Amino acid sequence: MMKIRSILKYMSACLASAGMLVGPGNFAQAQSSGSQFDLGKNAAGDRCTASSNWTDPSFTDDKLKFADAYSVNCRGAATQSIARVRVFPSSDLRSEFSTSLSCGAETSIELDEFGSTTAKRCVDKGLGFTSVVVDVRKGGSFYQMSAAPNAVGPAYQAVRILAGLDKPQNASSDRQPINIAELTSIGNGANLAATNKELEASDSVLSRGTALNTLGLHADASRYLASAIEGLGEGASIQSQIELTLEAALADSNIRFFGSAEQKFDQAEQLLMQLDGAERSLMLPKLQSYRGLHLLNEGNFGEAQFLLSQSLAGTKSFQPVLRDPSTFVRLNVASIDSNDIRAAINLPDERVLRETFLLSQSGWALSVAELSLGNVKGASRALDNAQKNYEDLTTQLRGSSLRDDAIIWLSARLDRQRGRIKAAQGEYDAAIDLFDRGIAALTRSNIALSGTGREPAIAEFQLERAKLLERAGGSEQEIDEAYESAVSALLSARNDSFAFSTAALAPYMNRLVTRMAANNSDASEKYFQAMQINTETGAAKQINMLQNIVSADPALGAKLRDSEEFQRDLSRLSLEINEARAAGADTKNLESQRQVLQQRFFELDAELQANPQVNSFSTRPATIEELQTMLDPGQAYLKLNSFGDEVFGFIVEKNTVHPFKPIAGQKQSNIQPYIKQVRKSIDGQLEFGTVPKFAVDSSQVVYRTLFNDVDKMFRSYDELIVDVEPVLNGVSFSILVSDPKGAQKFLKQNDIFDYSNIEFVANWLPVSVAISPRSFIASRQLTPSSAPQPMIGFASPNPMSRLISQNGPVKVGPCVLTPSQISKLSDRFSPIPDQEIRDASVALGLSSQLAMISGDDFSDTELLSRGSSEGDLDDYKVLHFATHGLTEGQFGCAESPAALLTSFGDTDSDMLLSFDEIAKLRLDANLVVLSACKTASAIGERSLKLTGEAVPGATLEGLVRAFFTANARTVLATYWESSNKGESEMFMNAFYQAGRTESISRSLNSAQRALIDTRETSHPFYWGGFFVVGNSNINMLSGG
């Protein structure tokens, strides 16, 4: 007879979802008294859960009948499990297990409803770190919670639920039941290195990763599974490695990290080849399936249709190039008696269950592909087959006394797809009924997975239903209620999903525009809220967090900075461990570093969570009133967003608001070719060393198409804050030609490179950039710098040509450069003389107070030293970097980071001050000036993962965000390369001259107008790339 533990291990292998198509099945997560339950949010605002852990050290075969163990995890946690709760039937058995812990002295404590007990610090082998351990009793059960110092709250909540004192629906992990600081320390990281860490069971990890994907929390799934892979030891089975790698690959694909997903698929394929024939045939369908689902995430429905058809037709040969996306899952089931999940189970034939689920899932995916291609009959036929197999599956499960709770998600997806088909056939009433049934089923499924029923997957489902109801001709009231319910769900879930598919919102937005034209103020607020549906970018969140740090007292602010740095370093070490393991390199040193750093983070985070002065920054959408409060008279905030192919605009003034749309209902697809032409006419010929003729006509078309109806409003403002990146996509608002006859006038000119007579927006309107309404509000609340010194400059690093004399390749950052490569890069990235900054300081009136770092002193290691907590970079209000900014992959190899070019320093130097190193600098600056190349560029997948981000990057996510992290209130950056022939110096002189008395944003505009007025510098290439973001309302020398 199969051992119960083996059955349970089989039961927990699950499927993670693929973006818009696949939702995972997990049969063991039905009831809070079963395998997983909700613990509410902790002090940081992160939701926590507890789930059964089958390979806790207490689960040796001889103790299997005695103990239950639950792993606790919170969103954003730096490790797989941050606490473990163990349940014993007797005090003796708990004491016996406790001999495996290495503990310090006990401290007496009182716990509400548990009475007197003790707390102590212990090295817990099951968790792999020093934890806080508390033993309590309730009724006939004996509990032990072992938690990271920052996870005592959620662990305590888990104990209370298991003891019957609380219910999951009312849970809160925001608890501080113990004063951690009073517990006796038991040593440092050396103790940790000596432990024999018991790995989180791969089935438990897969179960949690599956649940996150089902709920639509794909970014969390990516982070969590990456951490799980990092935690795999040498003894992990190949099968476990393959399954975790595939789940992580698919999670990355779901968040559009396609390059990272491809790498993981390749790693899984290499692991697969190490298995023997029988084992390979078992795992191969999952590899093929996930590769295919990844293809569907990329939107290639034609190839997906072909591949899925081949799969269902019986193609089973291993063809890595073909990428057969048949869908495979090992079912995760639980006993009907949810109070005894380890009861004897009469398991049906495993292969039958797999094949039945495979056929249902594959048929459903094929139906989605067929309908996307317009083949309604083919979609219906595929879905009929999927439905039949699903019903066969549920029959098999119920006939074997097994729960089917966790395949409800598949039932919901089948209903949704059937509703789409009915709508395509014009049967709207039936379609809406199917959608209602599907939403109800998915809500039940999510709650069974410890969700709230308000997750991203449900929110998008509701939005599609609202659009369907409008197509069906529902009543105005029904349609309004449906859209408002969907928007409310999307706003609630926006911080749980990196981006929504919001094309279905366009009809709702148009309805609101109509109502606002009739002076409906309620419609205005709803419109503004909907404009903010997608989550805050990393740069926006950093400005919000910066407001917390700056407003805190110095000691607390420093601890907040340390906490951020610890989290970034933990993410970096996890990624480096995974990469080293994939390359066959030794990881012991990296793992030891991570253990020590993790423990330091746990202790610091516990202290911060217990501090009432620390408030988690708000990521909720801003209200109109909040935004208006931050605007000065004469200022306005412009926001553009797109929903599907429709563009929507909104202007917020101090006392009123104005919605608008492009003239004649022009679509984004109509406008984008002109935007691309404008950008091409700026830097499209730089590789040839020439500046092209500026596309005055295209620039005029863009302005008139988007802003013709609000031009008069713009001309009444003293300053405009623009949040337009989703539409203008890297083209500066200031370079748009606002004169309706500008193109005609230009055609009559003989000199096609004189733009001094062209009316650009910059001629008459100061403009600054905002990343989001919420981050703009936070930036305006930042107090000015208290630094004692005015300015420090960095320029003229040693020329790269010096490296050629070293005979042979040279390592620069992660790249190994040959003399030939160095020679080419040296020509392109010649040092920028420090005279630019010296002249700028004179213009600012600071010639005798300027601190200048150049030559050998301008190295990455020197900056890191001076930017440390013991350094002096936080003594300066203005930092000016006159050096080249490098975009990711630009400097010699694909792995080169976004960085600033410096000189070589000491033995640890690599000549690049990378964006993650910039984030470690300790500044107190009003303004950081990056007068270099493309310093606003986005960064890629690997760099984002180094920082712990699991969402695709956006413009401003690289160097600009890094300086916000380092504590800069405002950053002046560039959309494109700046000129190195004197024009940049002219711009900076004018900028700093105005900076003596003007705000940062007005100083920028003064410099722009100065260059426009001169024929030789009137081309937007010379002045239009510079922009400011942050609190540009202050003077650059403001503060104490």
Categorize the per-residue pLDDT at 575 as very low, low, confident or very high, splitting at 50, 70 and 90: low
Categorize the per-residue pLDDT at 959 as very low, low, confident or very high, splitting at 50, 70 and 90: confident
State residue 732's pLDDT score. Answer: 94
- Residues with Cβ within 8 Å of residue 137, at least 6 apart in sequence: 91, 114, 143
- Residues with Cβ within 8 Å of residue 984, at least 6 apart in sequence: 836, 931, 978, 1022
Tokens 């590789």 map to which residue? 687
Q: Are 483 and 489 in contact (CB under 8 A)?
A: no
**Lowest-pLDDT range, 225-239, 686-700, 831-845?**
225-239
Who wins on pLDDT, 19 or 801?
Answer: 801
Which of 138, 168, 198 corresponds to the end of one domain?
A: 198
- Residues with Cβ within 8 Å of residue 728, at least 6 apart in sequence: 640, 675, 702
φ, ψ (nearest 5 deg) of residue 665: 65, 30
Question: What does the DSSP assignment read for 277-302?
Answer: HHHHHHHHHHHHHHHHHHHHHTT-HH
Q: What is the residue type of 140?
A: G
- Angle at alpha carbon of residue 822, lines to 820 and 827, rounded to 5°: 105
Q: Which of 516-525, 664-673, 786-795 is modeled with the greatest confidence? A: 786-795
As a whole number of angstroms, the distance between CA 493 and CA 888 comes to: 31
State residue 798's pLDDT score. Answer: 86
76-81-83-89 Cα dihedral, nearest 10 degrees: 150
Q: How many CB atoms lie within 10 A of CB 459?
A: 24
State residue 500's pLDDT score. Answer: 62
Whether the per-residue pLDDT at 940 is higher than 50: the answer is no
State residue 169's pLDDT score. Answer: 79
- Residues with Cβ within 8 Å of residue 977, at least 6 apart in sequence: 683, 686, 933, 934, 1025
State residue 316's pLDDT score. Answer: 39
- Residues with Cβ within 8 Å of residue 941, at least 6 apart in sequence: 252, 257, 259, 260, 952, 953
| Residue 318 burial class via C-beta count within 10 angstroms: exposed 0-12, middle 13-18, buried 19 and up | middle
As a whole number of angstroms, the distance between CA 282 and CA 279 comes to: 5
State residue 935's pLDDT score. Answer: 53
E-state strands within 254-413: none
Which run of H or of E encompasses 646?
strand 646-653
As a whole number of angstroms, the distance between CA 141 and CA 825 comes to: 69
Instruction: Flag whether 109 is in a domain.
Output: yes
- pLDDT tens track for 721-737: 999 988 998 899 999 99
**Lowest-pLDDT range, 123-137, 386-400, 667-681?**
386-400
State residue 714's pLDDT score. Answer: 98
Q: What is the residue type of 329?
A: V
Q: How many CB atoms lie within 10 A of CB 355?
A: 15
**Lowest-pLDDT range, 589-603, 646-660, 798-812, 834-848?**
798-812
As a whole number of angstroms, the distance between CA 890 and CA 906 comes to: 24
Q: Which residue stretches of 898-1019 are H helix? A: 915-918, 941-946, 959-965, 983-995, 1000-1012
| Residue 793 burial class via C-beta count within 10 angstroms: exposed 0-12, middle 13-18, buried 19 and up | buried
Who wins on pLDDT, 662 or 564?
Answer: 662
Q: Are strands 657-660 and 767-769 parallel, antiparallel or unpaired?
A: unpaired
- Residues with Cβ within 8 Å of residue 996, at least 6 apart in sequence: 843, 844, 845
Total residue length of the chain: 1040
As a whole number of angstroms, the distance between CA 628 and CA 622 comes to: 10
- Angle at alpha carbon of residue 414, lines to 413 and 415, rounded to 5°: 90
Categorize the per-residue pLDDT at 582 as very low, low, confident or very high, splitting at 50, 70 and 90: low
State residue 57's pLDDT score. Answer: 47
Q: By C-alpha distance, which of 262, 260, 222 is closest to 244?
A: 222
What's 839's domain CATH number? Answer: 3.40.50
Instruction: Flag whether 976 is in a domain.
Output: yes
Task: Clarify whether residues 769 and 786 are in a common domain.
Answer: no
Domain count, the chain: 3
Which of 183, 198, 213 corresponds to the end of one domain?
A: 198
- pLDDT tens track for 450-459: 666 677 788 8
- pLDDT tens track for 353-364: 666 776 787 888
Instruction: Flag whether 17 is in a domain.
Output: no
Task: Clarify whether residues 645 and 739 are in a common domain.
Answer: yes
Q: How many CB atoms lie within 10 A of CB 514?
A: 12
How much is the average pLDDT of 451-475?
Answer: 85
State residue 341's pLDDT score. Answer: 26
- pLDDT tens track for 389-410: 889 888 877 766 656 666 788 8
As a whole number of angstroms, the distance between CA 974 and CA 931 comes to: 7
State residue 821's pLDDT score. Answer: 76
Categorize the per-residue pLDDT at 323 as very low, low, confident or very high, splitting at 50, 70 and 90: very low
Helical pair 408-424 and 350-372, crossing angle rounded to 10 deg: 30
How much is the average pLDDT of 98-117?
Answer: 89
As a whole number of angstroms, the distance between CA 942 and CA 953 comes to: 10
As a whole number of angstroms, the distance between CA 965 and CA 963 comes to: 5
φ, ψ (nearest 5 deg) of residue 111: -120, 130
In order of 509, 755, 1011, the CA distances from 750 in angstroms are: 46, 11, 20
Which run of H or of E encompasses 9?
helix 4-11
Q: By C-alpha distance, which of 235, 304, 186, 222 is closest to 571?
A: 222
| Both tokens assigned to 300 | 């290639």
Of all residues in the chain, the percent with pLDDT exceeding 70 is: 76
State residue 861's pLDDT score. Answer: 92
Whether the per-residue pLDDT at 853 is higher than 80: the answer is yes
Can you give the residue range of the structural domain that contains 103? Answer: 56-198
Question: What does the DSSP assignment read for 326-395?
Answer: ---------BS-TT-TTS---PPPHHHHHHHHHHHHHHHHHHHHHHHTT-HHHHHHHHHHHHHHHHHHHH
As a whole number of angstroms, the distance between CA 342 and CA 286 comes to: 27
Instruction: Flag whether 382 is in a domain.
Output: no
As a whole number of angstroms, the distance between CA 456 and CA 12 comes to: 24
State residue 571's pLDDT score. Answer: 66
Q: What is the residue type of 341?
A: I
Categorize the per-residue pLDDT at 38 as very low, low, confident or very high, splitting at 50, 70 and 90: confident
φ, ψ (nearest 5 deg) of residue 725: -55, -40
Instruction: Flag whether 326 is in a domain.
Output: no
- pLDDT tens track for 909-933: 888 888 778 878 899 999 999 886 6
Instruction: Flag whether 934 is in a domain.
Output: yes
User: Could you report how far apart the first and last alpha carbons of the chain are, in Å?
Assistant: 78
Categorize the per-residue pLDDT at 904 as very low, low, confident or very high, splitting at 50, 70 and 90: confident
Q: How many CB atoms lie within 10 A of CB 350?
A: 12
Who wins on pLDDT, 564 or 966?
Answer: 966
How much is the average pLDDT of 91-96?
Answer: 89
Who wins on pLDDT, 790 or 574?
Answer: 790
How much is the average pLDDT of 619-640?
Answer: 92
Whether the per-residue pLDDT at 336 is higher than 60: the answer is no
Q: Which of 51-55, 196-200, 754-758 is modeled with the greatest confidence? A: 754-758
Task: Clarify whether residues 920 and 976 are in a common domain.
Answer: yes
How much is the average pLDDT of 836-846?
Answer: 91
| Both tokens assigned to 773 | 């309404």
Identify the bridge partners of residue 509 per DSSP, sorted by sequence position.
none
Task: Clarify whether residues 734 and 837 are in a common domain.
Answer: no
In order of 79, 111, 492, 942, the CA distances from 222 in angstroms are: 13, 36, 21, 13
Which of 198, 218, 253 corresponds to the end of one domain?
A: 198
| Both tokens assigned to 873 | 């970079």
Of all residues in the chain, the percent with pLDDT exceeding 90 is: 33
Question: What does the DSSP assignment read for 44-77?
Answer: TS-EEEEEE-TTSTT-SGGGTTT-EEEEEEETT-
Q: What is the residue type of 517?
A: A
As a whole number of angstroms, the distance between CA 305 and CA 316 comes to: 16
Categorize the per-residue pLDDT at 9 as very low, low, confident or very high, splitting at 50, 70 and 90: very low
Question: What does the DSSP assignment read for 130-145?
Answer: EEEEEEEEETTEEEEE
- Angle at alpha carbon of residue 448, lines to 446 and 449, rounded to 5°: 65
As a whole number of angstroms, the distance between CA 481 and CA 79 comes to: 41
Q: What is the residue type of 105?
A: A
Instruction: Flag whether 474 is in a domain.
Output: no
Whether the per-residue pLDDT at 891 is higher than 60: the answer is yes
Q: Are 1013 and 756 in contact (CB under 8 A)?
A: yes
Task: Clarify whether residues 749 and 859 are in a common domain.
Answer: no
Q: Are 596 and 189 in contact (CB under 8 A)?
A: yes
State residue 244's pLDDT score. Answer: 84
Categorize the per-residue pLDDT at 939 as very low, low, confident or very high, splitting at 50, 70 and 90: very low
Task: Clarify whether residues 856 and 732 are in a common domain.
Answer: no
Which run of H or of E encompasses 789?
strand 789-795
**Lowest-pLDDT range, 312-316, 819-823, 842-846?**
312-316
How much is the average pLDDT of 29-45?
Answer: 64
Task: Clarify whether residues 860 and 744 are in a common domain.
Answer: no
Task: Clarify whether residues 967 and 908 are in a common domain.
Answer: yes
- pLDDT tens track for 280-300: 776 776 777 777 778 878 888
Whether the per-residue pLDDT at 346 is higher than 50: the answer is no
- pLDDT tens track for 774-807: 888 888 888 899 999 999 999 998 887 777 666 6
How much is the average pLDDT of 225-235?
Answer: 69
Q: Which of 260-264, 406-410, 432-436, 805-809 is modeled with the greatest confidence? A: 432-436
Who wins on pLDDT, 703 or 244?
Answer: 703
Task: Clarify whether residues 819 and 944 are in a common domain.
Answer: yes
State residue 638's pLDDT score. Answer: 98
Task: Clarify whether residues 872 and 728 are in a common domain.
Answer: no
Q: Tell how far CA 300 is from the center of its chain.
A: 24
Task: Clarify whether residues 835 and 968 are in a common domain.
Answer: yes
Report the chain's mean pLDDT, rounded to a whole number.
78
| Both tokens assigned to 794 | 């960095």
Q: Which of 56-70, 140-154, 392-406 is modeled with the greatest confidence? A: 140-154
Task: Clarify whether residues 948 and 848 are in a common domain.
Answer: yes
Region of 45 (left: φ > 0; alpha: ψ -120 to 50; beta: rest) is left
**Lowest-pLDDT range, 21-35, 207-221, 222-236?**
21-35
E-state strands within 894-996: 899-901, 912-914, 925-930, 968-974
As a whole number of angstroms, the distance between CA 739 and CA 732 comes to: 17
Instruction: Flag whether 559 is in a domain.
Output: no
